[in-house]
Structure 1
Amino acid sequence: MLRAVREELVEHGYADFRVERIAERAGVHKATLYRNWPTRTDLVRSATAEWQSTRLDMPDTGSWPGDVRAFCAAFAAFQRLDYTRALLRTIVFANTDDVELRDELHATWRRLGGQLRELVLRAKRRTEVAADCDPDLVIEMIAGPMVHRTVVTDRALDDEFAGSVAEFVIAATWSASGRD
């Protein structure tokens, strides 16, 4: 069932999401879907929970530059997945049209952001970034350009671009006291 939801989002997006097509794809009656998931938001929420279980593993290379490079590469690869792109576009739609789904997808993003915060906190403990380095700003420095490329401009999120983002973040945050 959830695979059918993912396929629907990838092919049609949330704005044109139809429960009827989900039922047809899954080979069940529409009433069966509504019994288990009363709204399309419930369907997407369940699919999102499954998607979140494929979360990114946070790297621990032993250095801030290594962690940033590894994370940027993994985050870019994650965003290249069709379903991840569909969910990012769903967040944009939900921000204006579906408050309940927006809140659910934002909670999913906060959980991912919490994992990334740990990279920054670890770098602070090693004095590789300044003590006042804001983890949320670092997250936005990484996610902003990559999500923009994926959702807004629909340009390729290739390894070269991810590497450029990583080098920008390293240059902006790496503390002189933490350098070799």
Structure 2
Amino acid sequence: MGRTPTGAAVLQAEVTQAITEAVLRELADQGYGRLSMEAVAKRAGVGKSALYRRWRSKQEMVTAVVAEFSVPRADLEDTGSLRGDLRVTMRAVLDWLTHPLFSRILPDLVAEGARNPEMADSTRTSIGGPRRDLAEVMLRRAIDRGELPADLDVEMALDVLAAPIYWRLLVRQAPAGPDYLDRLVEYALRGLGARAT
């Protein structure tokens, strides 16, 4: 039986959590361009060396922290039906995009990606790619269950699932009313050519 971590091991996890929170808060308050390792360290109550032991650069730190925040929110259980999976997935996307900190971070990261191709590639590889991979698993399950056509254009379908929520919340800055997700799920089912099972 393993020993319960104490001392330095517990402190290490607490330090990492403090740094993670500091990165997200600095990103929300200052944006990527004005974020500094010094400010993150100060907010976390650690020395800069604690950051550099974990990441080699600001970009690596931001990408890792945002990925750690974002990717698990797309890893959802199989509900047994495409309709159920879509509802849970779209709810998770809505919650992700309306999170009090992240709703202020994402627009800045998108803008930074337009100016900084290396940052865009890092974000796409560490966050967008893994989130899409998880959504693809959901679509493949639906194909296997016979709910979606075998020749579904999965790449296009993945765009169709998240784009309306992103567009409504971040671009139009319009509210998502109480029945928005239910209506969106029904629309997506029709658009994907879902079959009644």
Report the TM-score when normalising by structure 2: 0.77
**1:163 maps onto 2:192 in alignment:** no
Query: Structure 1 pair 41/139, CA: closer, same or farther in 2 (3 Å)?
Result: same
Match of 2:33? 15
Match of 1:43? 61
The structural deviation recorded for 1:33 is 4.0
Query: Structure 1 pair 53/146, CA: closer, same or farther in 2 (3 Å)?
Result: closer
Query: Structure 1 pair 23/45, CA: closer, same or farther in 2 (3 Å)?
Result: same
Gaps of 5+ in 1: none
Match of 2:91? 73
**1:179 maps onto 2:192 in alignment:** no
Task: Give the Cα–Cα distance (whole angstroms) in 2 for the partners of residues 157 and 12 of structure 1.
Answer: 27
The structural deviation recorded for 1:41 is 0.8
Match of 1:141? 160
Per-residue CA shift, 1:1-43, capped at 9, x if unaligned? 1211100112222233233322321223456545654432122
Task: Give the Cα–Cα distance (whole angstroms) in 2 for the partners of residues 65 and 105 of structure 1.
Answer: 29
Aligned length: 178
Task: Verify the 8 A CA contact 1:94 1:101 in the aligned structure 2.
Answer: yes
Deviating more after overlay: 14-23 vs 120-129: 14-23
Match of 1:58? 76
Task: Give the Cα–Cα distance (whole angstroms) in 2 for the partners of residues 163 and 15 of structure 1.
Answer: 38
Query: Structure 1 pair 164/17, CA: closer, same or farther in 2 (3 Å)?
Result: farther
Task: Give the Cα–Cα distance (whole angstroms) in 2 for the partners of residues 124 and 106 of structure 1.
Answer: 26
Task: Verify the 8 A CA contact 1:124 1:130 in the aligned structure 2.
Answer: yes
Gaps of 5+ in 2: 1-18
**1:93 maps onto 2:111 in alignment:** yes
Task: Verify the 8 A CA contact 1:56 1:75 in the aligned structure 2.
Answer: yes
Task: Give the Cα–Cα distance (whole angstroms) in 2 for the partners of residues 36 and 86 of structure 1.
Answer: 25
Match of 1:118? 137
| Amino acid corresponding to residue 135 of structure 1 in structure 2 | V
Per-residue CA shift, 1:52-87, capped at 9, x if unaligned? 453323242222222212221222122221343244
Match of 1:154 among 173, 178, 185: 173
Greater C-alpha radius of gyration: 2
Task: Give the Cα–Cα distance (whole angstroms) in 2 for the partners of residues 53 and 179 of structure 1.
Answer: 30
The structural deviation recorded for 1:100 is 2.4
Instruction: State the SS of the aligned residue for 1:13.
Output: helix
